[in-house]
Amino acid sequence: MSLEKEFLAELVDAITNDRLTLPTLPEVALKIREAVNDPDVSSGTLAGVIGQDAALAARIIKVANSPLMRGAVVVDNLQLAITRMGINFVRNLATGLAMEQMFQATHDAVDKRLRASWEHSIEVASISHVLASNFTNLKPDQATLAGLVHEIGILPILTLAEENPDILEHEVVLDKIIFKLQGKVGRAILKAWDFPEELRHVPAACTDFTRDESPNADYADVVTVAKLQSYPEDNNPYANLDTSTVPAFRKLGLSHEVDVHHVEELAEEVEEAKQALS
């Protein structure tokens, strides 16, 4: 049995028999979700929860003061930041940002892949935010979170790869396996994390370029377009795809020939989003 088939068989067996170790949502994200689920939660209470993680609190304040939020007055504390952005926006933002700590590993090759995946996810999330804001009635913060989690399935695959050093030496083989299975694994993770259905299907659906289930754009459609526009022209794995056949563009009311990076106003918004999330 080839190395690819052997690792793939092990991975599929682990998925099928629920033996694949799925990552758990960071504790601070769980506490934030629990707090927000209380209909009477106040910005002060939520600030107390987020404030337990000083690094996350600082990043929330940074976003609140970013051009993304268009605030006229500088926010210098967490409670004011939450008031400016809204509790649901902060929940989605904090959940997404808290996941960054998961995209790290002790093995150099795996760590490099995870960090590259996180940087790519920030790019996709930034474009998703702008697309949702300008071309849909969807919530930009939810679209941002969809972009941040669209490659979450890579985590347990690379965890398993760490236990199989031979596969790490064959990057092309590992790439094929990740491409084939990360969507399915990603959906399993978001289901385990009790994410809403509109986000659970994003990891698998965003690379189904023929998907056309509804006339209205959903978060997977937004991430699909964002993903196709997230790569540099000289390193685009989908360079041979005829984007005129991708229904997601039509559902966003966006020409497949329009790239957000080539429209000055949209490009500025994407850069603002990236600066806020980085």
Buried b (16+ CB within 10 A) or exposed e, 26-36: bebbebbbebb
For the beta carbon of residue 39, count every other beta carbon within 10 angstroms.
Answer: 5
pLDDT for 72: 73
Residue pLDDT, tens place only, 88-102: 999 999 999 989 989
Q: Which of 20-34, 116-130, 189-203, 237-251 has the lowest mean pLDDT?
A: 20-34
pLDDT for 92: 92
Domain ranges within the chain, ordered by starting residue = 3-20+104-277
Residue pLDDT, tens place only, 217-246: 999 999 999 999 999 888 889 989 999 999
Nearest-angstrom CA–CA distance, 226 and 183: 16
Q: Which amino acid is at 206?
A: C
Mean pLDDT for the stretch of residues 8-24? 79
pLDDT for 1: 52
Q: Please, which pLDDT band fits residue 19 given cuts at 50, 70 and 90? A: confident
Residue pLDDT, tens place only, 125-173: 999 999 999 999 999 999 999 999 999 999 999 988 888 878 888 888 8
Nearest-angstrom CA–CA distance, 146 and 126: 10
Nearest-angstrom CA–CA distance, 41 and 34: 10
Residue pLDDT, tens place only, 24-67: 889 999 999 999 989 899 999 999 999 999 999 999 999 999 98
Question: What six digits make up the tokens of 181?
Answer: 């299975």
Within 8 A by CB and 6+ apart from 212, the residues are 247, 251
Domain covering 3-20+104-277: architecture: Orthogonal Bundle (1.10)
pTM: 0.90
